[in-house]
């Protein structure tokens, strides 16, 4: 018995020791430290990952990190975009606190030639860009102005359309509420195929702005960019950068409800797809079902945007991106008013009918490659294909009021027409180039030599039916325009007024004009929608030299453009044009914080039927040619948390196209002689403290027509080009006390008065909008409330004339719930 008691007592002692040891082993250990680069600067948003686990952390604004890990042996991996990843091994005891700093150095592949690795920062500020030099370049070292909005800024503002995003950019505003902008007084739109996705040429359907949930950032390279990307607007080029895969797991789902019966669901998943992280993935999904403050308008969108990065070796990376957007909606041609009274009709007025529709499908596929041969030489290539399909049926204005028997306008009746159209467009772009870094004595060189190919095709099968004009006296056909002296040739109503082919829109009886329309009695005629095709070949070379504090950029591009006149017909004929496009820039490092720069660039843009992508525009026209001189300064402050850019510029352009204002041909264009834009811009982006973010801008722009065949146009301010614009947005996060987890956002946007057309004196007034946001974080959940246009300001984002005005949204709100998990 005694033996059994001794054995039992011994067993209990051993059991308690094991349990105590087990409890001690479960006691977590702590690892903390600072992450710095090889200059000794701390790195914010660097990543620390405990390999083989889901344990990770990101360094804060001071470069500090902190991890809780189980006791034992662990391998920690430290990484930061643009720097070499390192690992550290540690054996840590239960409850132990170890301080472990990390130094990340630049290596042979520190700077990418194409944007493959995802951006890990979670702030408004972006340090580098690919848009200005075809390789990753510090924005401060680029001799040209760049404005950008990160995904964090877009999320905080609840901005899901590019038109909402660009209010943050100096010198950029909406021209209409389509995918249509003004940059430094010059128009840029999605249909002109000079917009970029991931630095490659693409196009949108123009009518609708796609969702931005799959974008890492939206950026604008100001001024002509033809020396880098071929034909483009002299105001600037818009680049949409898609989200790339990360080497750490991040997942988020958000649901939004808001004004105008808005429902939106978004998802973003990224991380390694295999154990050694050689294959990374990202998947962005979006669904939107929203009405509008505009009558009869709605948007139903589905976005699917997968991305894969294959790290074949430390020197070779391949990336695949796809963005697919299916959109169902109606085409909104804007608000019309009676006479010159902007407030004579409600801003909700759209001239649509109940049986109108616009169905669009767009895909953009991109494949890119970066290979490092050695520490000096790399090869970069990217190929992009865009496909667009449009199915449209719409009642729209004929850009004129209906006529009475004397040929005078009837101010409450808008002349109408019907379009039924189907078409497809395909755009291909290849860009391949070598980057070579070398030193010749004290001079360092960054050399880029490359080749571009681009093409756009609208294949056979595109067609349009149009009903417009006035009925002839026998009611067997139509006459395009009404001529009073020939009134007997027209069918007339009881008042003697000509009878339109399509019933006029009565601004005094809006509801009846918007009902389902019986179009069976209208006369439809086929409108020419000929197939088009063009392609271009281009070669370019550029050298960015550095000697001490001075950097010089010298580049030249030769572009050879081929357009097919009467494409796919028996009379098909090739036409050619070419251009030499130089680029010069200087950057001087005045101090550790300040770079001063200057640049001269030239632009070129053919204006053939293929590039205009508008079957009713007329032409062909002579190419647009342009040039820009710009001087400025870029600086960084507060340990590189805050950047400030200032610039002054002059842009000149010849052969710009404007609406010809010909009755019955609302889309017909004509060129003017010469335009000049002069201005000043100022931008601030970043964080004043680790928890206080700010973005602010101001722009003054004097954009005028300086030469024209119509004398009265000389000296006029360009359409939709405000002289003054200003914007501010700020967010502050509370991290301590009873209100910890709460964030506040506040912003204001000012746009000056604008002229609508060079042919009329009509204008839209200046406006100030005030927006606010409230954020509350509880662990992995964020609740966000955005309130826009708090004062209920009536305003217009743009327009062509008082028959085609584009109102801005009244007061509205958006409530968003976001869940983030690993």
296 versus 530: the higher-pLDDT residue is: 296
Q: Read off the DSSP letter of residue 661.
A: -
Count of CB atoms within 10 A of residue 18's CB? 10
pLDDT at 664: 63
Closest CA to 211 of 244, 163, 166: 163
Whether 600 has a pLDDT exceeding 50, the answer reads: yes
Alpha carbon distance 45, 62 (integer Å)? 9
**For 1-5, 490-494, 627-631, which range has the lowest pLDDT when averaged over its residues?**
1-5
At which of 67, 88, 104 does a domain end?
A: 104
pLDDT by residue (tens digit) across 612-628?
555 566 666 777 889 99
Q: What is the mean pLDDT of residues 74-79?
A: 87
pLDDT band at 13 (very low <50, low <70, confident <90, very high): very low
- By C-alpha distance, which of 118, 148, 395, 436 is closest to 284? 118
Which pLDDT value is given to residue 21? 41
Phi/psi at 486 (5° precision): -110, 30
DSSP assignment of 452-508 equals: EEEEEEE-TT-EEEEE-SEEBTTSSSEESS--GGGGGGB-B-TTSPBPBSSPPEETT
Tokens of 329: 């909606």
Contact (Cβ atoms closer than 8 angstroms) between residue 417 and residue 398: yes
Q: How is the beta sheet containing 86-92 ordered, strand by strand?
A: 56-58, 47-50, 72-79, 86-92
Residue 187 lies inside a defined structural domain of this protein: no
Question: What pLDDT was estimated at residue 679?
Answer: 96
Residue-wise pLDDT tens digits, 255-264:
999 999 999 9
Look at residue 560 in the predicted model and tell me its pLDDT: 92
pLDDT attached to residue 25? 44
Tell me, what's the pLDDT at 668?
Answer: 74
Concatenated DSSP letters of 323-349: EEEEEEE-----B--STT-TTSS-TT-
pLDDT at 144: 92
Q: Please determine, for residue 406, whether its predicted confidence score (pLDDT) is greater than 90.
A: yes
How confident is residue 17, by pLDDT bands cut at 50, 70 and 90? very low
Q: Is the pLDDT of residue 22 over 90?
A: no
Residue 472 domain flag: no
Is 660 part of any domain? yes
Q: Which domain holds residue 713?
A: 239-466+525-821
Residues 98, 243, single domain; the answer is no
Q: Is residue 609 part of a domain?
A: yes
Q: Is 8 helix (H, G, I), strand (E, B) or coil?
A: helix
Domain final residue pick, 41, 72, 104: 104
459-505 confidence digits (pLDDT tens): 999 999 999 999 999 999 999 999 999 999 999 999 999 999 999 99
pLDDT of res. 780: 92
User: What pLDDT score was predicted for residue 36?
Assistant: 87
Check whether 204 has a pLDDT greater than 90.
no
269 pLDDT band, cuts 50/70/90, is very high
Overall average pLDDT of the 59-78 stretch: 88
Contact status, residue 806 vs residue 754, Cβ threshold 8 Å: no
Phi, psi dihedral angles at 72 (to 5 degrees): 135, -165
Confidence of residue 590 (pLDDT cuts 50, 70, 90): very high
**Within a domain: residue 443?**
yes
pLDDT at 797 over 80: yes
Report the distance separating Cα 155 and Cα 214, nearest Å: 11
**Residue 804 pLDDT > 90:** yes
Average pLDDT taken over every residue of the chain:
89
Q: Which of 789, 684, 699, 679 is nearest to 752 (CA)?
A: 699
SS3 state of residue 136: coil
H-helix or E-strand spanning residue 26? helix 2-26
Listing DSSP states for 548-592 in one string gives TTEEEEEEEEEEEEEEEETTTSTT-EEEEEEEEEEEEEEEEE-SS
Range of 292-296, 640-644, 656-660 with top mean pLDDT: 292-296
Q: Looking at per-residue confidence, does 227 or 136 come out higher?
A: 136
Instruction: Name which residue leads in pLDDT, 61 or 287.
Output: 287
**663 pLDDT band (50/70/90 cuts)?**
low
6 lies in a domain?
yes
Q: What is the mean pLDDT of residues 638-666?
A: 84
> What CA–CA distance (Å, rounded) separates 111 from 84?
10
Say if 287 falls within a structural domain: yes
From 104, 126, 151, the end of a domain falls on 104
The whole-number pLDDT of residue 707 equals 85
pLDDT over threshold 60, residue 26: no
Instruction: Please tell me whether residues 542 and 396 are part of one structural domain.
Output: yes
112 versus 693: which is more confidently predicted?
Answer: 693
Q: Are 786 and 264 in contact (CB under 8 A)?
A: no
> What pLDDT, on a 0 to 100 scale, did the predictor assign at position 129?
85
pLDDT digits (tens, 9 = 90+) for 310-329: 999 888 999 999 999 999 99
Examine residue 704 and state whether it is found in any structural domain, yes or no.
yes
Count of the separate structural domains present in the chain? 2
**Mean pLDDT to the nearest integer, 511-525:** 95
pLDDT at 110: 42
Per-residue model confidence (pLDDT) at position 666: 65
Judged against a pLDDT cut of 90, whether residue 60 lies above it is answered with: no
Strand partners, 625: 604, 654
Collapsing DSSP to helix, strand or coil, 169 comes out as coil
The domain spanning residue 9 has which CATH number? 2.60.40.10
Residue 775 pLDDT > 80, yes or no? yes
Which conformational region is residue 4 in: left (phi greater than 0), alpha (psi within -120 to 50 degrees), or beta? alpha
**601 contacts 228 by C-beta, under 8 angstroms:** no
Give the span between the Cα atoms of 373 and 654, in whole angstroms: 44
Domain with residue 803: its CATH number is 2.40.170.20
Share of the chain above pLDDT 90, in %: 65
The proportion of the chain whose per-residue pLDDT surpasses 70, expressed as a percent, equals 91
Q: What is the pLDDT of residues 324-364, one digit of tens each?
A: 999 999 999 999 999 999 999 999 999 999 999 999 999 99
- DSSP result, 582-647: EEEEEEEE-SSSEEEEEEEEEEEEEESHHHH--TTS---EEEEEEEEEEEEEEEEETTTTEEEEEE
Residue 59: its pLDDT value, please?
85
């Amino acid at each position: 018995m005694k033996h059994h008691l001794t054995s039992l007592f011994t067993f209990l002692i051993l059991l308690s020791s094991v349990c105590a040891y087990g409890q001690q082993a479960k006691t977590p250990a702590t690892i903390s430290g600072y992450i710095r680069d090889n200059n000794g600067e701390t790195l914010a948003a660097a990543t620390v990952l405990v390999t083989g686990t889901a344990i990770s952390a990101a360094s804060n604004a001071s470069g500090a990190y902190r991890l809780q890990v189980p006791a034992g042996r662990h391998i920690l991996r430290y990484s930061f975009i643009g720097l070499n990843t390192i690992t550290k091994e540690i054996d840590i005891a239960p409850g132990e606190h170890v301080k472990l700093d990390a130094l990340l150095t630049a290596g042979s592949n520190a700077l990418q030639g194409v944007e493959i690795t995802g951006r890990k920062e979670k702030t408004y500020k972006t340090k580098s860009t690919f848009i200005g030099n075809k390789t990753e370049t510090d924005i401060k070292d680029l001799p040209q102005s760049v404005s950008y909005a990160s995904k964090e800024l877009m999320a905080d503002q609840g901005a899901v359309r590019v038109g909402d995003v660009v209010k943050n950019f100096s010198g950029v505003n909406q021209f209409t509420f389509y995918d249509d902008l003004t940059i430094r007084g010059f128009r840029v739109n999605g249909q002109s195929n000079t917009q970029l996705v991931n630095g490659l040429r693409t196009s949108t359907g123009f009518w609708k702005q796609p969702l931005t949930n799959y974008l890492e950032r939206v950026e604008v390279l100001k001024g002509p960019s033809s020396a880098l990307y071929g034909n483009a607007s002299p105001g600037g080029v818009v680049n949409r950068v898609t989200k790339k895969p990360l080497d750490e797991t991040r997942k988020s789902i958000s649901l939004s409800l808001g004004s105008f019966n808005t429902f939106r669901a978004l998802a973003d998943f990224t991380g390694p797809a295999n154990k050694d992280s050689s294959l990374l993935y990202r998947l962005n999904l979006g669904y939107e079902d929203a009405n509008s403050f505009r009558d009869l308008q709605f948007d139903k969108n589905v976005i699917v945007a997968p991305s894969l990065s294959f790290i074949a070796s430390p020197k070779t990376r391949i990336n695949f991106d796809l963005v697919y957007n299916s959109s169902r909606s109606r085409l909104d041609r804007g608000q019309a008013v009676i006479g010159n009274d902007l407030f004579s009709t409600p801003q909700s007025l759209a001239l649509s009918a109940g049986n109108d529709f616009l169905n669009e499908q767009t895909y953009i596929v991109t494949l890119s490659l970066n290979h490092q041969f050695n520490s000096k030489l790399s090869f970069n290539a990217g190929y992009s294909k865009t496909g667009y399909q449009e199915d449209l049926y719409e009642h729209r204005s004929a850009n004129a009021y209906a006529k009475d028997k004397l040929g005078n306008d009837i101010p409450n009746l808008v002349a109408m027409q019907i379009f039924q159209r189907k078409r497809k467009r395909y755009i291909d772009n290849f860009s391949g180039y070598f980057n070579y870094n070398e030193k010749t004595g004290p001079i360092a060189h960054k050399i880029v030599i490359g080749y571009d190919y681009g093409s756009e095709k609208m294949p056979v099968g595109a067609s349009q039916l149009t009903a417009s004009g006035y009925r002839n006296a026998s009611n067997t056909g139509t006459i395009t325009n009404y001529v009073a002296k020939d009134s007997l040739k027209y069918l007339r109503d009881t008042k003697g007024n000509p009878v339109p082919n399509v019933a006029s829109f009565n601004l005094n009886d809006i509801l009846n004009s918007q009902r389902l329309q019986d179009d069976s009695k209208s006369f439809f005629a086929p409108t020419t929608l000929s197939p088009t095709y063009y392609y271009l070949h281009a070669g370019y070379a550029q050298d960015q030299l550095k000697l001490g504090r001075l950097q010089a950029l010298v580049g030249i591009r030769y572009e050879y453009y081929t357009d097919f006149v009467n494409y796919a017909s028996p009379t098909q004929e090739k036409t050619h044009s070419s251009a030499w496009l130089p680029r010069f820039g200087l950057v001087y490092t005045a101090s550790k914080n300040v770079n001063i720069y200057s640049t001269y660039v030239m632009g070129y843009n053919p204006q053939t039927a293929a590039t205009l992508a508008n079957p009713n525009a007329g032409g062909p026209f002579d190419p647009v040619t342009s040039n820009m001189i710009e001087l400025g300064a870029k600086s960084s402050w507060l340990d590189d948390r805050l950047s400030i850019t200032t610039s002054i510029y002059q842009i000149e352009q010849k052969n710009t196209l404007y609406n010809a204002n010909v009755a019955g041909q609302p889309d017909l264009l004509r060129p003017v002689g010469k335009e000049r834009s002069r201005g000043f811009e100022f931008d601030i982006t970043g964080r004043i403290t680790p928890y206080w973010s700010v973005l602010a801008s101001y722009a003054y722009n004097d954009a005028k027509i300086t030469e024209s065949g119509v004398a009265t146009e000389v000296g006029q301010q360009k359409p939709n080009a405000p002289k003054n614009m200003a914007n501010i947005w700020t967010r502050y996060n509370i991290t301590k006390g009873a209100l910890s987890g709460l964030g506040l956002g506040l912003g204001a946007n000012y746009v000056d008065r604008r002229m609508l057309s060079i042919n009329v004196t009509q204008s839209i007034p200046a406006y100030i909008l005030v927006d606010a946001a409230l954020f509350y974080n509880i662990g992995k959940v964020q609740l966000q409330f955005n309130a826009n246009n708090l004062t209920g300001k009536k305003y217009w984002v743009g327009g062509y004339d008082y028959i085609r005005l584009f109102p801005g949204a009244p007061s509205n709100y958006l409530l968003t719930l976001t869940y983030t998990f690993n």
